[in-house]
Amino acid sequence: MDKRVLGATGLEVGVIGLGVEHLEAVQRNMDEVFDLAVSAGGEYVDLVYNDPTGIYAEHWRAIIPAVQRHRDSLTLAAHWGFVAHEPVDRCRECFELVLERVGNNYVEIAVLTMVDTEDVWQGWAQESIENLEGYRRQGRLGFIGLSSHYPDIARQAMESGLIDVLMFPVNLYQHREDTDSQVLLEAAEELGVGVVAMKPYYGGRLLHSEGRPTGISPVQCLHYVLSQPVATVVPGPRNAQEFRQALDYVEASEQEKTYAPLHKELTERLRGQCVLCKHCLPCPQEILIPEVIRCLDYVEHFGHGPGHDSTNRQRYADMTARGSDCTECGVCVERCPFQVDIIGKMRRAVEVFEARA
């Protein structure tokens, strides 16, 4: 596998890394996937779940034997905090537990999770970085990273000089016509910030539309991502079979990698699948339609494990307007370029999220 340098860290990593978010929490599965990654030269591993003792305890019990067995071959990115931005004391408690479990009481990178707003960057993130610098001085941490979905916040973080690594979504749908994201990746290269590309399949939407194959291959998705100035990409397989499909990139022909024709075909290929483009908004009932569908899709199609289920159920419960507020006026359906059955999705959201309430 080709290697690239992760910005100014000097760490050499394989272009195909491993995201563990969706891995089936069975030790045999973890062992097989990690064996594949290491044998192929894909040593970068993103350990997204920050708490080894909470709802992801089963995941950690299954993954730790593989991590420890391959520890000397891995570049580990452990997360500081999760989507709720827990208090810094809690983040520190979880980080200590992770350091104890992974081996050597050390991780190469600590990633601040989902820094997507100015308030989070100026508050929680700054306090967190001060704590992580302490770990770095102790020799228990190599570098500080940050994950974000918004170019303006990511740019602030990079230009501050406080982070070494940026985790950012790069894929055929979100990135291809997003000038701000393109400029961000170029700036990262100039600033020496290593970029780890996440969401290469756009949460699975590029591969499957409403449970049906789109005809777009993992190899095409990964080749698009790796044609950008990124160091590595972390697909999130469920099992060894899915990870092999990502590793097919290493031996794929140029014809198999070609993605250019897909630019003109994406709308047709993704027909029926919500891609969060937000053309449906505003809703007369003030329903955040893409967010409702995103929660529904994660529970029914993309997410796996108790954490995804509970997180998305809570997000739905916290919405001020939900599927049950839909009057079926049809305005959103007329606007949707992908012909999504939005009204049907709202009805399904009521069945999935509100029937149990």
Report if residue 273 sits inside a domain. Answer: no
Q: Record the pTM.
A: 0.87
Is the pLDDT at 303 greater than 70? The verdict is: no
**Domain boundary, last residue among 261, 277, 304:** 261
**Could you tell me the residue range of the domain that residue 346 belongs to?**
289-354
Q: Residue 304's pLDDT band (boundaries 50, 70, 90)? A: low
Q: Among residues of the chain, what percentage have pLDDT more than 70?
A: 97
Report if residue 146 sits inside a domain. Answer: yes
49 and 189 both lie in a single domain = yes
Is the pLDDT at 89 greater than 80? The verdict is: yes
Is the pLDDT at 357 greater than 60? The verdict is: no
196 and 242 both lie in a single domain = yes
CATH of the domain at 151: 3.20.20.100
Q: Do residues 193 and 230 lie in contact, with contact meaning Cβ atoms separated by under 8 Å?
A: no
Report if residue 234 sits inside a domain. Answer: yes
Report if residue 275 sits inside a domain. Answer: no
225 and 329 both lie in a single domain = no
Is the pLDDT at 292 greater than 70? The verdict is: yes
182 and 136 both lie in a single domain = yes
Residue 215 DSSP SS3: coil
Report if residue 145 sits inside a domain. Answer: yes
Report if residue 31 sits inside a domain. Answer: yes
56 and 141 both lie in a single domain = yes
| Tally of domains within the chain | 2
167 and 257 both lie in a single domain = yes
46 and 176 both lie in a single domain = yes
Q: How far apart are CA 172 and CA 179, in angstroms?
A: 13
Q: How far apart are CA 145 and CA 77, in angstroms?
A: 8
249 and 311 both lie in a single domain = no
